[in-house]
A and B are shown apart, each in its own frame.
Chain A
Amino acid sequence: TQLLEQSPQFLSIQEGENLTVYCNSSSVFSSLQWYRQEPGEGPVLLVTVVTGGEVKKLKRLTFQFGDARKDSSLHITAAQPGDTGLYLCAGRIMGTSYGKLTFGQGTILTVHP
């Protein structure tokens, strides 16, 4: 059973386009993170959201946590080839131990010049 559904699994776009990646769950999360992972490396933290409805921006990346804390999205504006990589959402399900993150399956983003 996939506790955190991430979509789309693959995304191939042209430079300059916008895109959105979604993470959805039937569980409530106390916090949710977005990571980016390069081949041969571990995930690197981009952002953490903890409050329902919270929106955070990191340059061209906008992260949103759903009001009910069951979903989140990552929006990239004017994508660039340097944005290519694997994006992962991960969060702490309410009531579970604070050290246990539940991951989505990831979105492989390819931005073509």
Chain B
Amino acid sequence: EAGVTQFPSHSVIEKGQTVTLRCDPISGHDNLYWYRRVMGKEIKFLLHFVKESKQDESGMPNNRFLAERTGGTYSTLKVQPAELEDSGVYFCASSQDRLNYGYTFGSGTRLTVV
């Protein structure tokens, strides 16, 4: 089966611009997660979708970040306006149900804000 796909793999934008990251989960996986790793830090949770609903968005840093999952399929994470501290690798993961303890991660989007 196809894995979790993330677009783009790399993005370099200027401070103040807008960037939209996309994640296509494994088909049939209701649960979709966003995580990110900023340089020198551990991977941190951003939010969790169950189908199209936000189950937990406690990790979203601030209101410059907006995540959507239209129709319960792919998800987008928009950063507007981007700041320097938003640089890092953004990972998306999916799982079939809550009993599936492990996730399948995508390869990530490396975001650089200059």
Which residues of A come within 8 Å of B, CB atoms?
2, 4, 31, 33, 35, 40-45, 48, 50, 88, 90, 97-106
Contacts and interface: CB of A to CB of B under 8 A. Distances in A.
Contacts of B98: 98-99
A50 B56 CA distance: 22
B45 A100 contact: yes
Nearest to B98: A98
Contacts of A50: 101
A33 B101 contact: yes
Nearest to B104: A45
Nearest to A99: B48
Nearest to B6: A42
23 contacts: A2-B42, A4-B42, A31-B101, A40-B107, A41-B107, A41-B108, A42-B4, A42-B91, A42-B106, A43-B105, A44-B105, A90-B43, A97-B56, A97-B58, A98-B98, A99-B33, A99-B50, A99-B55, A99-B98, A100-B48, A100-B59, A103-B35, A104-B42
B93 A102 contact: no
Interface range for B: 20 to 34
Q: Specify the main secondary structure of chain A where it touches its partner.
A: loop
Contacts of A102: 45
Given A42-B93, A97-B55, 5 more contacts: A50-B101, A100-B45, A100-B48, A100-B56, A100-B58
B87 interface: no
A33 B44 CA distance: 15
